[in-house]
Structure 1
């Protein structure tokens, strides 16, 4: 398997974790490519951990220490545990940029495939997808203000890098993922999706849907993740490409599963509190619990706050979380505990669970929004806010007066009893769209909580600074969705595979 535009490796993680009848991995990554240095650090680390886990059939204690401490000393101890595996991980996971017309990486892939016998009949899969920004609906609306800038955006043609691998290496099967905006995107006047289908057909492939046996139109290639056991309403275009001359013409589609909620996905993650941004004047002297109590009192003096009295009084009377981060799980476990925690054995360690700091007025808004969501079962719109919580800029003020104004949901709570909204890279910029549903914690989601909603297991560590970690999580394919796609691919190749859902 070769993974392009790999990010932190969500698609590869799912494919690498399904097993055959003998308990052996069906798919093995021989090359993954990611240009972002911090995402590549995550990708290489995961390749290394995958290798040492497979060898020892468990997570070694040095990795548990690195998950716990995440510092230079623990890292040096970790890579010293198996230097050969660390070197191999650096060969597997490449930090490199795919460029249209540059075949250096194509030839590197050819060499590796030849060494594995994949150029002489052994089946292999190509997975991945070009970056999404140029195809996203919001990103494109901004770019279209400058048409020349849109047409010149290199992300518009990065799928041609993916196409070069298909044309020149002829994978047995490929999986390509992208945002829904791809379906309506245009480049130099032509529909991008229609161009991709034509290019793939010319390369010798038939394109199949993972959700419709006989797709009638572009929308039939959209996979709605919440319908397949993912605790997130993530809708993405996913194409399954099969060589035309293949002996196998029939492919399966994904099997719908019960929905998983935010509450179930976050089970076992301990409570922590938010903090004060250093941009707040006098923030060092501020007491968090006292501030939240005073924010609740201020809300209770408004008509909107009086409707939330029961929740706000509970917040005032509760014992507030004392810490902004915790590195062990609670004793609770949810339906997916076998996936989230199974790779950690008996270790209770929890990484990447640290709260952001916030401006005080945003803490006021988060308190109102989470209390409103708990009380009403829906996330508040700007026109539901007390006047003093409406942001000062013109669009927000207009939204208070006119419910038809766009972006009235600029502060959004992830509701406990349904799947979350789509986790995107925007989570790296601020937490306004990703407010935690518990008013007592009064904060946005942590990296680990976002990773849970993306179905990354808890032994999957995100490297880089926290902004990069959020970006990596938001850009990834949910591994448990990738698992189900991998099982479809394995069956097409004549392999009966097992994934996590078979154990439920």
Structure 2
């Protein structure tokens, strides 16, 4: 009996044991790597999976994850879950031990999910990945790319029944590499049947157009039939999203000529057979107004989440009702994190911007408003401030933002009420100009809770504040509703194959 045969029998025994536990009514146990605040975790939790734990290096995000998924744990265990961790510094068995989980590590986790950062991994290529598959410790010799490698190392050590890997579309064409394709080759060698595709969150009920690569893999013993959910909602995406997809797909066309086995092209949603996409107004219109009378617009200071504000109206749409009544994350009276940035110079610009306007339009508008101000001074005082004078420069600074519109065309954008939001980015933690509220009578950027709503986090989901870290967590997250669609598909797949594959694993173990 050679080494590979022994490894295959060991894998079969582990998989059989996991399927038997699931067949007895056990919930699939999930470990979330690079978890952030828990967008994927929430989707899987809501689909019936058990969240065992998470690995996240950001302190605020790690505590947010614990506050939402382990809030009822004893204090010592809660702190273990809230602890930020560098995945390169902790082994899978050590992690499980910190959670108080004993027994063989590869018997404790059924599903691994996560979105490892992609920067250095794209430079590895097929040859390097094959080396990694053959040598689990290879990541120690290549710190440039250890994040993706550590994800694969955890897969190797914990032998999950299924896994999810999420990333940006550019990972399909990163320096000429199709990183998802190359990752699938490694997973294939490790005993998995992987598929990857591109999914836009807006097609799964999220009021945000957010394109992502989604890779799902099952153990080969499961003989999987379905990897990704079918879209439920429809919208005609703006041209920029089509362009991004076309660039990402260029390497897939090449691979298809080589009989690519891993890419799955999802069916296109159709307006006659799908629900209309959720718009920004349908997502946000029941939240309290923040207008010129609000203290948040009048005063500068820390934006903490210690003020509870009540909903002014009942939910007006099905989406708003879901955000208030999400099972396990209900918030029936109001919210604590409906806070915004203090931007007094720009409120007047926001009020006069048109839906869809970006920074070049805002910059031109600011100069027109500055000219109006100069005319007002001339009427009142008889002459204008002289260009270059202190008065002139001070007046201009009060109206005109300092950024070059040619260099920062997308820095600002006013949302459209009747369309989903554009992609929320991590730099929400630095500014919120990419998402200016569609309601001109409020004339402001979106609040933390509005960003969470657009990303499909329910109102009962809490973020470790204050404002900037919360914005960053939301911008980095996978939309929970999209994650739930993936998790629902995975749960159905596991339920469908469980009985059949228990029998198949038993036959393989005895050499039938």
Aligning the two structures, in what range does the TM-score lie when normalised by the shorter sequence?
0.5 to 0.7
**Aligned counterpart, 1:64:** none
Measure, in 2, the Cα distance between the counterparts of 1:98 and 1:349.
Answer: 37
Counterpart mapping for 1:120-269 below 5 A: 124-131=110-117, 156-186=145-175, 191-209=178-196, 221-251=197-227, 253-257=229-233, 258=275, 259-269=277-287
- 1:284 Cα deviation (Å)? 7.2
Gaps of 5+ in 1: 19-25, 52-83, 137-151, 210-220, 286-323, 400-405, 497-504
Q: For the structure 1 residues 40 and 284, does the alpha-carbon distance in structure 2 shift closer, same or farther, using more than 3 Å as the test?
A: closer
8 Å CA contact 1:274–1:356 kept in 2: the answer is: no
Counterpart mapping for 1:13-92 below 5 A: 13-18=42-47, 26-49=48-71, 51=72, 84-92=73-81
**Aligned counterpart, 1:291:** none
Cα deviation code 1:259-295 (max 9, x no counterpart): 10100111310101369999x9xx879xxxxxxxxxx
Q: For the structure 1 residues 353 and 339, does the alpha-carbon distance in structure 2 shift closer, same or farther, using more than 3 Å as the test?
A: same
8 Å CA contact 1:233–1:421 kept in 2: the answer is: yes
Q: For the structure 1 residues 435 and 117, does the alpha-carbon distance in structure 2 shift closer, same or farther, using more than 3 Å as the test?
A: same
8 Å CA contact 1:276–1:359 kept in 2: the answer is: no
**Please, which of 292, 310, 322 is the counterpart of residue 328 of structure 1?**
310
Question: Is 1:472–2:473 an aligned residue pair?
Answer: yes
Question: Is 1:429–2:418 an aligned residue pair?
Answer: no
8 Å CA contact 2:65–2:82 kept in 1: the answer is: yes
**Aligned counterpart, 1:302:** none
TM-score by length of 2: 0.64
Q: Whose Rg is larger? A: 2
Measure, in 2, the Cα distance between the counterparts of 1:236 and 1:110.
Answer: 33
**Please, which of 323, 340, 357 is the counterpart of residue 323 of structure 2?**
340
Gaps of 5+ in 2: 1-29, 123-140, 234-274, 301-305, 371-398, 498-512
8 Å CA contact 1:131–1:155 kept in 2: the answer is: no
Measure, in 2, the Cα distance between the counterparts of 1:426 and 1:12.
Answer: 22
- 1:471 Cα deviation (Å)? 0.3
Q: For the structure 1 residues 96 and 366, does the alpha-carbon distance in structure 2 shift closer, same or farther, using more than 3 Å as the test?
A: same
**Please, which of 267, 279, 290 is the counterpart of residue 272 of structure 1?**
290
Q: For the structure 1 residues 173 and 346, does the alpha-carbon distance in structure 2 shift closer, same or farther, using more than 3 Å as the test?
A: closer
- 1:195 Cα deviation (Å)? 3.1
Structure 1 range deviating more: 110-119 or 424-433: 110-119
Q: For the structure 1 residues 156 and 416, does the alpha-carbon distance in structure 2 shift closer, same or farther, using more than 3 Å as the test?
A: farther
Question: Is 1:8–2:8 an aligned residue pair?
Answer: no
- Matched position secondary structure for 1:341: helix
Measure, in 1, the Cα distance between the counterparts of 2:179 and 2:191.
Answer: 19
8 Å CA contact 2:80–2:99 kept in 1: the answer is: no
**Aligned counterpart, 1:315:** none
TM-score by length of 1: 0.65
Cα deviation code 1:447-474 (max 9, x no counterpart): 0000000111111111132110000010
- Matched position secondary structure for 2:357: coil
Question: Is 1:379–2:366 an aligned residue pair?
Answer: no
8 Å CA contact 1:267–1:332 kept in 2: the answer is: no
Measure, in 2, the Cα distance between the counterparts of 1:432 and 1:156.
Answer: 33
Q: For the structure 1 residues 392 and 336, does the alpha-carbon distance in structure 2 shift closer, same or farther, using more than 3 Å as the test?
A: closer
**Aligned counterpart, 1:310:** none
